[in-house]
Amino acid sequence: MKLLIVVTHLLGTGHLSRALTLARAFREAGHDVHLASGGMPAPQLNTDGVDMIQLPPLRSDGVNFTRLLDDHGNDASLEYHSDRQEKLSTTFHDLQPDVLITELFPFGRRSLRFEFDHLLRAAQALAKPPLILSSIRDILAPPSKPTKAQFADDVIAQFYDGVLVHSDATITPLELSWPVPKTMVPKLHYTGFVAPPAPPVHPKASGKNEILISAGGGDVGTHLFDTAKEAAQLESDHTWRILVGGQKAGDRMRHLQSNAPDNLVVEAARPDFRAMLHHAAASVSMCGYNTALDVLQTGVPAVFIPFDEGGEVEQSLRAKSLANHNQIQLVKNGDLTPATLQGAVKAAISGPKRASTGSYDGANETVRIVESMFLKRSAT
């Protein structure tokens, strides 16, 4: 099969990371896979072996996902959007894929609906249309208005052959965060959680006995980092290591390094972060999809401070569910202080060791599901 995966990450890099994991799984299964990315470049992510097509990049204005900025930080013009649409259209027609996968849309990225609508109509107009699938994480941002849910329902009914839900239905069914109409149920395909293979232990045991603080690859987490800096002064038994990502990483690192305690290390986000978790005393982070899976796979004690700016509830729902497991603590942003963070870290480290849970072979299961759907369609 020839596949085209289309993804635009606007704030963090979780959507792109998951799409890359899927792309590698398809490639390893012998398929010809291409990934069109419409977000800002994320050099810290592993793109080895993946044919990446970079569209003119966009990012959101913080949590305002209705205001999209170009690669210079200006409001994206109509011409800029037109350039994106043209490059995506050219890519699609040049590749003529057997399978088209859109990450998150139409359950999100409604600000790019005209771009996706053009793509979907072009796909449907082909003499031999591709299999069209939506790819979504375990928990979505619940629709704030009934019209948003209805929009997704209508688009799925009109264009899509299926929805790949990267979750375990017994742990986080889609209904936990999204109203699922009866008409959509037959199109849902649960894949299990999509995660890269569990990382090996770090060859240099980097991060050993440290408190690792991370906030993904976007320009978020400032409050978390500032609080961790002060908490490190209260807890001197460990080295606290803050890993800073995003477009403004340099400025944020300099701010954190100013008057830092001796047991605090501040550096840029590292590609070996997942391997470091095996050796860490604890992880402190938000609760994005990929970060949560990293914690579960490595077994590291963890404190989650879910991202909740702009009314976001996705991470809060996920963190609340995971806090039922041993060695996982939840601290809400409104309750976050150096003292509460220090206490949560201590509780996570001292708690009884947790057992492994969940299925993380979602990437390979996605490949099997798509292969089966494609063969079934080809036989008709």
Has residue 202 been placed in a domain? no
Has residue 201 been placed in a domain? no
Has residue 325 been placed in a domain? yes
Helix (H, G, I), strand (E, B) or coil at 311: helix
Q: How high is the pLDDT of residue 217?
A: 67
Q: Do 45 and 189 reside in the same domain of the chain? A: yes
Strands 131-136, 99-103: pairing kind: parallel
Torsion angles phi and psi, residue 63, rounded to 5 = -90, 5
**Angle at Cα 174 formed by Cα 60 and Cα 274, nearest 5°?**
60
What percentage of the chain carries pLDDT values higher than 70? 99
CA pair distance 22, 104, nearest whole angstrom: 14
Question: Model confidence over 174-189: pLDDT tens digits?
Answer: 998 999 999 999 999 9
Report whether pLDDT(357) > 70.
no
Q: Do 159 and 123 reside in the same domain of the chain? A: yes
Q: Do 226 and 190 reside in the same domain of the chain? A: no
Please, which pLDDT band fits residue 132 given cuts at 50, 70 and 90? very high
CA pair distance 201, 205, nearest whole angstrom: 7
Nearest Cα to 238, choosing from 285, 284, 301, 281? 281
Has residue 76 been placed in a domain? yes
Q: Do 250 and 179 reside in the same domain of the chain? A: no
* 162/377: higher pLDDT: 162
Report whether pLDDT(358) > 80.
no
Q: Do 139 and 54 reside in the same domain of the chain? A: yes
Q: Do 128 and 229 reside in the same domain of the chain? A: no
Stretch (H or E) spanning 116 = helix 113-125
Has residue 297 been placed in a domain? yes
Q: How high is the pLDDT of residue 220?
A: 78
Q: Do 43 and 184 reside in the same domain of the chain? A: yes
Q: What is the mean pLDDT of residues 24-34?
A: 96
Q: What is the mean pLDDT of residues 46-54?
A: 90
What percentage of the chain carries pLDDT values higher than 90? 76
Q: How high is the pLDDT of residue 57?
A: 96
Domain count for the chain: 2
Has residue 204 been placed in a domain? no
Q: Do 47 and 190 reside in the same domain of the chain? A: yes
Q: Domain of 8: which CATH number?
A: 3.40.50.2000
The domain of 261 spans: 210-350
CA pair distance 297, 168, nearest whole angstrom: 15
Q: Do 130 and 252 reside in the same domain of the chain? A: no
Peptide bond into 106 cis (omega under 30): yes
Report whether pLDDT(309) > 80.
yes
Has residue 355 been placed in a domain? no
Q: Do 322 and 242 reside in the same domain of the chain? A: yes
Q: What is the mean pLDDT of residues 302-315?
A: 89
Q: Do 33 and 157 reside in the same domain of the chain? A: yes
Q: Do 373 and 340 reside in the same domain of the chain? A: no
Q: How high is the pLDDT of residue 273?
A: 93
